[in-house]
Structure 1
């Protein structure tokens, strides 16, 4: 199979590069490349710039206001935008609940919610995991009891990324406690401003608080906010997770961080009066990771060009595992390059660029934060062990 870009694909890549170079705000780019905190306003601003250009929904068909790009064009866009220093496009609306609504929701629900996602009029978060129900998602306990034209929801969700920014949450709830675990689950769309919704931050190892716990206490949700059919939520959840896992591969992120790694190694001293980049052992480590990134890109290109039209299958789990590993390996080597300057860091420094770094050069200060943050990649979206089980079950003879 020929994985080289055609002339048309190369022209598309050049178009993406030119647009991102001209349109990506410099202050956002500096934050991303400097590993500083990207805030809600930064995400919203970049999304709206893309939306104004007609690129607000790269993964969506034109019928729903998307670009209509094929899988390879979407991959090219991701690589070029992230390499240039753009923040990732928030997946919760675009690549999670959006495709689910397109496939399973009524036309009325589609018309109500879908147009507001690319324009960032609605900021979404995901309500799947619970304490004790993460990898074993079917054991979730959040209850939704129907009373007339409303559901009354009670329970707790955890690891709800960016819930403190969100306007809406798509939430798995148990509507039939007597049914088998996978058969008694429904998918509800809940307004985060509804009385009874409480968001509490979870501070992670890197000092950040992107993730939260979300409490639902007698929350009233209109029946019209039920996606599809009652007790069919497990089907919708699996469809959503396939789209999520493919995106977690993070090939654009890998390309960008590999370039940053080389830059850091060129700035770091080897302790012998030279550059760390010129040390043969370090060059070998960088070369090995660069080969891993190239192999991951080839894998994604194969997935993108061999789509079967049935949505993500076991390949979503394969690229999720490998992408997680490569992202973590790059962060680990960045930490090694930073050396002792990378360990003492201040979360406040990541928020305020005017502050002085704790130790050593500016570029080394976020190394520990990045390393810690990347630990979670092999867990969210389904832990690596769970993905291996999925692969074993779905690929005959594996």
Structure 2
């Protein structure tokens, strides 16, 4: 039986990494690759895959030591889909060859990932998707359309769910793939949002050939694989443990402190209610992160994402009210295609408009309420008349 890792063990490994690769003189990418190879990327992953099989809660020890040494990070906001959604899915369902090929460049940011799930006719009801994958020798030929795809315009790879058997009920005829976004037949078009940006995209797949070696999980088990992605996505969006007064709460609280002329008894009461809710969410996120050390995320991530969306919209609306007539103004309402979402470094007007999407992305609030009701509270599920009907026979 091996001795469990301690904080000092990890600090020792960090010191060894820094001695061999001084971040002051080492190329950024070279340092990130060395960190991955040393098992200090995500320490709870297995050895050889960026980790050490160490307790997940000790990751903060490694991160703090490296930050204090001035080491570069992997720009997590830019590669959040890869880190929070693709990587856990590849780790759980990928073959040894897939894990070795994809996890290292995913973590270092050499290869950006996007998520090809939602479709024009299958957003909240993901299992209704119609993008077809047809076997052809050792390949699959994929045709269909995906929508609301963040960072597809810079992504090298995508996690993709398809319909491989239309003759069985919708949840049973899906298969999950890794799609190379540079392959022939992949077309990415921007979708301009209310903010003026095209952070999202629609993606057209026209006869795209995907090798069977890029399939994740068994044929027909795409729904099972997708559940791992979706649960991790909701944790990635709403389950981050921020510091006290982190995020929009801190911005609005600072505005309140700096402008006493804005204060009224009614606004003060609303601010206090929001602050208390934000603090409760923060503590719940800390608890969720602790629970994650014991295994895969469960429906708790849906509750966190639901609360996150509501609070983001409430804070941004409150901030606009404080700003008065200038609340909806911001400097640059132009068509750009950003590589990441920056809610903190932008104006109140941008934050207010962008927060509207928080209740849609990663699962709509309505769907998440159903998940919480059924899987957390144990309430009777809603009647589903399409559960045992072949996908091809469903009305569309």
TM-score under structure 2 length normalisation: 0.76
Which of 107, 124, 133 is equivalent to 1:118? 107
Q: Equivalent residues in 2 for 1:1-398 (5 A)?
A: 56-57=41-42, 60=45, 62-66=47-51, 70=55, 72=57, 88=77, 90-249=79-238, 250-252=240-242, 255-268=246-259, 270=261, 276=262, 278-307=263-292, 309-348=294-333, 366-395=347-376, 397-398=378-379
8 Å Cα contact 2:196-2:334 kept in structure 1: no
Q: 1:348 to 1:184 in 2, by over 3 A?
A: same
Task: Tell me the equivalent position of 1:19.
Answer: none
- Shift in Å, 1:101: 1.0
Render the CA deviation track for 1:317-337: whole Å, top value 9, x for unaligned. Answer: 111111111122111112112
Distance across 2 between alignment mates of 1:263 and 1:52: 40
8 Å Cα contact 1:58-1:66 kept in structure 2: yes
**Structure 1: gaps (5+ residues):** 1-7, 16-44, 271-275, 352-362
TM-score under structure 1 length normalisation: 0.75
Distance across 2 between alignment mates of 1:48 and 1:213: 34
8 Å Cα contact 1:126-1:171 kept in structure 2: yes
Point out the structure with the larger helix share: 1
- Shift in Å, 1:219: 0.9
Q: Please state whether the residue corresponding to 1:103 is helix, strand or coil.
A: helix
8 Å Cα contact 2:309-2:358 kept in structure 1: yes
- Shift in Å, 1:109: 1.0
**Structure 2: gaps (5+ residues):** 1-6, 15-26, 68-74, 337-343, 380-396
- Shift in Å, 1:46: 9.5
- Shift in Å, 1:311: 1.3
Q: Please state whether the residue corresponding to 2:107 is helix, strand or coil.
A: coil
Render the CA deviation track for 1:339-374: whole Å, top value 9, x for unaligned. Answer: 2112233435897xxxxxxxxxxx998211111101
The size of the alignment, in residue pairs, is: 343
Q: Please state whether the residue corresponding to 2:198 is helix, strand or coil.
A: coil
Render the CA deviation track for 1:21-57: whole Å, top value 9, x for unaligned. Answer: xxxxxxxxxxxxxxxxxxxxxxxx9999876666654
8 Å Cα contact 2:161-2:174 kept in structure 1: yes
Render the CA deviation track for 1:162-202: whole Å, top value 9, x for unaligned. Answer: 10010111110111111210111111111111111110111
Render the CA deviation track for 1:8-29: whole Å, top value 9, x for unaligned. Answer: 8xxx9xx9xxxxxxxxxxxxxx
Q: 1:303 to 1:87 in 2, by over 3 A?
A: closer
Distance across 1 between alignment mates of 2:62 and 2:193: 30
Distance across 2 between alignment mates of 1:76 and 1:323: 26
- Shift in Å, 1:216: 0.4
- Shift in Å, 1:143: 0.4
8 Å Cα contact 2:43-2:55 kept in structure 1: no
Q: Please state whether the residue corresponding to 1:255 is helix, strand or coil.
A: coil
Distance across 2 between alignment mates of 1:76 and 1:388: 35
- Shift in Å, 1:285: 2.8
- Shift in Å, 1:105: 1.1
Q: 1:75 to 1:313 in 2, by over 3 A?
A: farther
Q: Please state whether the residue corresponding to 1:171 is helix, strand or coil.
A: strand
Task: Tell me the equivalent position of 1:359.
Answer: none
Distance across 2 between alignment mates of 1:48 and 1:189: 26
Q: Please state whether the residue corresponding to 1:153 is helix, strand or coil.
A: strand
Distance across 2 between alignment mates of 1:350 and 1:263: 31
